Each structure stands twice: as C-alpha cells, then as structure tokens.
Amino acid sequence: MPAAKPKAKAKAKPSQKSKKKPTKADDERLKRLDAVSQLKTDYITACKRLGVDVLPSVQKAISDAQTSDLSLNKG
C-alpha cells in the first residue's frame, strides 16, 4: 500500500474588494454632499414658489459642488 499523501491546504485568498470602515473624513464628505443636495432642493423650490427662473450661474455652482463632493467620495 502506498503511503497517503498529505492534502494541500487551500490558501485563503484576500477578497478582491476589501471593505474599509468609513473614516471621519468620509462622514464629512457625505454630510457636505447631503447639505449641497438639500440647498439645491430648497433653492429650486423657492424659485418655483416665487415664479422666478433659477439662475444659470447658481445652477452651475450647485452642480460643480456636487461633482466635486462625489469625486472626493469615490477616492
């Protein structure tokens, strides 16, 4: 009878995407993103109630702020 060969143990592979805990900076980014979103909603609602057009410069500033916060949130 041949001696039984020891089985090779499967090595634990690190997960492809490890989830990291949100840091304080991540929490701050999310708070800013929420604040910008709320300001945008409030501004547009107020403009509609008053029957005033939303200023293009303000619309651009709001979208720039959201884009900036979103890109920071990804990294």
User: Is pLDDT at 32 greater than 80 in this prediction?
Assistant: yes
Q: How confident is the model at residue 14 (pLDDT cuts 50, 70, 90)?
A: low
pLDDT band per the 50, 70, 90 thresholds, residue 50: very high
Q: What is the pLDDT of residues 34-47, one digit of tens each?
A: 888 888 889 888 98
Q: How many CB atoms lie within 10 A of CB 15?
A: 7
Query: Is 37 buried (19+), middle (13-18) or exposed (0-12) by CB count in 10 A?
Result: middle
Report if pTM > 0.85. Answer: no
Which stretches within the chain are classed as H helix? 24-50, 56-74
| Rg, C-alpha atoms of the chain | 26
Domain boundaries, the chain: 23-49
